Amino acid sequence: MPGENLSREEARARAAILSVERYDVALDVRSATGPAPGGAERTFRSTTVIDFRCAQPGASSFADLIARSVTSVRLNGRDLDPAAVFDGARIALEGLAEHNTLEVDAQCLYSHTGEGLHRFEDPEDGEVYLYTQYEPADSRRVFANFEQPDLKAPFTFRVTAPEGWEVLSNSAAQGEPAPAPDGGVTVDFLPTRPISTYITVVVAGPYHVARDHYTRALTGGEALEIPLRVLCRRSLARHLDAEEIFEVTKQGLDFFHDSFDYPYPFGKYDQAFVPEYNLGAMENPGLVTFREEFVYRGKVTRASYEHRANVVLHEMTHMWFGDLVTMRWWDDLWLKESFADFMASFSQVEATRYGEGWITFANRRKTWAYRADQLPSTHPVVADIPDLEAAKLNFDGITYSKGAAVLKQLVAYVGREAFLEAARRYFKRHAYGNTALVDLLSVLGETSGRDMAQWSAAWLETAGVNSLTPEVVCDEQGRISSLTVLQTGEGEQPRLRPHRVAVGLYKLGAGGALERYARVEIDVAGPATAVPALVGRPRPDLVLVNDDDLTYCKMRFDDASLTTLSGHLGDITDPLARALAWSAVWNLTRDALLPARAYLDLVLRFAGRESDIGVLQSLHQQARAALTQFVAPQAREAAGQEVAQGALRELRLAEPAGGHQLAWARFFAEVAASASDLQLLRGLLDGSAKIDGLEVDQELRWTFLAALTAQGAAGAAEIAAERSRDDTASGHRHAVRCLASRPSAEVKATAWAEVVESDTLSNALVEATIAGFAQPGQRELTAPYADPYFAVVERIWATRSIEIAMAVVRGLFPSLQDRPETLTATDAWLAAHEDAAPALRRLVLESRDDLARALRAQSCDASL
């Protein structure tokens, strides 16, 4: 749609002349319930009043709105013709005065894609639930506004909704709901503090609510009282463990008040778990929204609870980094997301029972960053974001986890107290304002005394990941005569960076344990850095050049260390060091330096001894990827059988009723392929087979059934029976995925048509259908869709919402047709579509790079 993709230059020009004083927004969502209008899409009434100033009276500008229709537009008391000023995405504003009032009355569409105001009908009880999701620019689907982060203002919301609903927004309600004419109730909310449009929020529906409160003593004898609420759909209430969520919430609030010395600024603190959510969560001040999969319907491992706690703390960090102080434009998205990613692990380790947070960070979050930083779309942490489509794609592993890893390196570089003091000054100096890179560097320079411009140039303003490799020379007595850390980069002109690292030396003990006996911190710079402090130490069996994970790098090994790991990786006693070793050998596998089957051999020999459940589940995920993408095709079947046998062995050996047993059960189901494997899964489903301590709850039942349907060992009748057993929204999604996973040409054609030729499925069902369609064991069935993919992606991008378009472009790329011909077809499309939307080309380029990497890894594995 013309005007929908706001550019950075347009935003800068608008911000140069406009400042917003207030918004009054009224939404009438009573139309969400009751019969749908015959053949028409449901709409809701949205009225907006905006008071704003213009620094250049007589100038022209525009407001943003995506609506089905506009009833009226009034500017400074003058009625404007909607047909003349509204083009579907923008309202033209001509002849502005110094002080202006814009009034817009519109009919907006409910969303089924998770963008704007999403409407969900619970199949279990028929209740309707609403929530908003805007980042980066979808509040314009709900009310007229100036949709850019640097035009902050106070918002006052009024929502008219069906009687009996819970209705929430960023701020607390003013008094009790008032009866509305023609039925329902109207809730008026207190004005917010100045915030950006993308973090405003409305949640409405018959939500279940749990309540608590947080009290904090402030300096001067005052007390800060924060009401706490946790919400979910009524049909999920029996699964909601609100006490655990409240506990982490209070621990986080304590930590951030201690660390930031700036009281929580947004009054109440609600957390709503909502259906069909596209993200993990969203940091709307006063009302954080989460995907409802964090309300666990069945047994999950400790890693799942740890992950949820991390997300709770991530969003809480945003109350300061992002909401109180907001980036000026999406170039500096890292100013909120990198800090939230880092502070989530930081606070989790120091304030909660999840002390393994840095292990998870090293093993999972940084793996995401390493992948993103080696794609052709890699970018600096401080990115070049020309428009909103580019902004949407930059919510990636670089902005989140590389940025967080860089901040961890920064703390090692400047010191913990200097870092936190910089944050305190930053909040006090820029509260309710907008900032850019220079504003943060300024306070960091003040508190640390360091040259932050040089550090920023190396870490924030250039792309790519460095590799650090130890070079060890020992004398005849078996002592180190020299140890050097070699640094390399990637590309024709690699950028070498300064790294603060810990180099650890490890030795095998008499009992077989691999333990650290020496450690030294040094500053690595340039291609080679000597480590004189370790000269004279006994010859190590293993050298870790990024021990304790202080920096962001790919850690490599000398030959002796790699030999040690091949026989003793599981003997490393320190869990963080072991996680770093696992991460490093996975990077070697992805880089086609270690055969995939050698990696799988390590997993089969040592994963059963892994104590950290989060690391174990990462190993399962990576082993599955290695088997699907990196093993040579001719060896794939045999390798799969070996992995399945190993998974079953570990499942039977795992402690009954423990998290490791559950993890191995899920992994076994994912790799099971033989007749005996499938017979066991069927027996576990119907109760004719048992594994001591393994509780086959509803979620695990779907995991087993998904494996059976993908292998053709179960069909529509079994799926329907399970759907009847689990008549819920989750059950519906599982059933849709299973139906699309059946090994049938007719099934694949139906799934393709439902996603590509129709736009009726919700975002959650699009995701489920794509997941079922793309089965690794069904390459022949999906091969006919490789050419059609390239024929439809531009149309999909042009006609679907960006969230759905991204899911289709990524999810249906023919990555399972892993042969050179697919690479050639991708290159041909890219060459013929140089003028395609840059964001679309980026997605195709990224998928092409993953495919090329897979082919290189398969070639490496074939040499085994």
Q: What is the pLDDT of residues 217-268, one digit of tens each?
A: 887 778 999 999 999 999 999 999 999 999 999 999 999 999 999 999 999 9
The reply to whether 656 falls in a domain is no
Residue where a domain stops, chosen among 406, 432, 460: 460
Using CA atoms, how far apart are residues 697 and 682, in angstroms rounded to an integer? 14
Residues 143 and 180 in one domain: yes
Using CA atoms, how far apart are residues 785 and 791, in angstroms rounded to an integer? 10
At residue 413, the pLDDT reads 87
Say which residues have a Cβ less than 8 Å from residue 165's Cβ, sequence separation at least 6: 185, 204, 205, 206, 207
For 687-785, where are the alpha helices, taking DSSP H only?
A: 698-710, 716-725, 729-741, 745-752, 763-773, 779-782
Using CA atoms, how far apart are residues 795 and 793, in angstroms rounded to an integer? 5
Residues 167 and 238 in one domain: no
Check: CB of residue 465 under 8 Å from CB of residue 553: yes
What are the start-end ranges of the E strands in 391-511? Answer: 434-435, 467-474, 480-488, 499-508
Backbone angles phi, psi at 176, to 5 degrees: -85, 155
Provide the domain limits for residue 259. 207-460
Percentage helix, strand, coil for the chain under 3-state DSSP, each rounded to 5: 45, 20, 30
The reply to whether 721 falls in a domain is no
Count of structural domains within the chain: 3
Nearest Cα to 698, choosing from 670, 672, 649, 733? 733
The reply to whether 693 falls in a domain is no
Residue type, 765: L
Exposed / middle / buried, residue 791 (Cβ in 10 Å: 0-12, 13-18, 19+): exposed
Residues 262 and 367 in one domain: yes
Residues 798 and 850 in one domain: yes
At residue 277, the pLDDT reads 97
pLDDT band at residue 2, thresholds of 50, 70 and 90?
A: low
The reply to whether 498 falls in a domain is no
Residues 158 and 268 in one domain: no
Residue where a domain stops, chosen among 156, 183, 206: 206
State the distance between the two ends of the chain, measured CA to CA, in whole angstroms: 52
Beta pairing, strands 18-28 & 43-54: antiparallel
Using CA atoms, how far apart are residues 835 and 408, in angstroms rounded to an integer? 39
The reply to whether 246 falls in a domain is yes
CA of 653: how far to CAs of 658, 661, 680, 781, in Å?
A: 11, 8, 16, 36
Q: Write down the catalytic residue from 103, 135, 283, 315.
A: 315
What does the pLDDT look like over 792-850, one tens digit per residue?
Answer: 999 999 999 999 999 999 999 999 999 999 999 999 999 999 999 999 999 999 999 99
Residues 196 and 263 in one domain: no
Torsion 827-829-832-838 (CA) sign: negative
Using CA atoms, how far apart are residues 605 and 623, in angstroms rounded to an integer? 12
pLDDT band at residue 510, thresholds of 50, 70 and 90?
A: confident
Residues 45 and 193 in one domain: yes
Residue type, 849: D
Using CA atoms, how far apart are residues 382 and 398, in angstroms rounded to an integer? 10
Identify the CATH number of the domain in which residue 57 sits: 2.60.40.1730
315 catalytic residue (yes or no): yes
| 492 pLDDT more than 90 | no
What does the pLDDT look like over 372-427, one tens digit per residue?
Answer: 999 999 999 999 999 999 999 999 999 999 999 999 999 988 999 999 999 999 99
Check: CB of residue 584 under 8 Å from CB of residue 546: no
Longest dimension (CA), the chain: 93
Structure tokens at 679: 């017979």
Torsion of CA 458, 463, 469, 471, to 10 degrees: -50
The reply to whether 591 falls in a domain is no
Using CA atoms, how far apart are residues 470 and 541, in angstroms rounded to an integer? 12
pTM: 0.96
Per-chain mean pLDDT for the chain: 96
Residues 177 and 224 in one domain: no
| 1 pLDDT more than 70 | no
| 123 pLDDT more than 70 | yes
Residues 284 and 176 in one domain: no
The reply to whether 323 falls in a domain is yes
Backbone angles phi, psi at 633, to 5 degrees: -55, -40
Residues 202 and 227 in one domain: no
Q: Which residues pair with 232 in a beta bridge?
A: 208
Residues 163 and 217 in one domain: no
Give yes or no for a cis peptide into 527 (omega within 30° of 0): no
Residue type, 282: M
Q: How many CB atoms lie within 10 A of CB 374?
A: 18
Residue where a domain stops, chosen among 406, 428, 460: 460
Q: Which residues pair with 57 in a beta bridge?
A: none
What does the pLDDT look like over 414-462, one tens digit per residue?
Answer: 999 999 999 999 999 999 999 999 999 999 999 999 889 999 999 999 9
Residues 141 and 20 in one domain: yes
pLDDT band at residue 491, thresholds of 50, 70 and 90?
A: confident
The reply to whether 517 falls in a domain is no
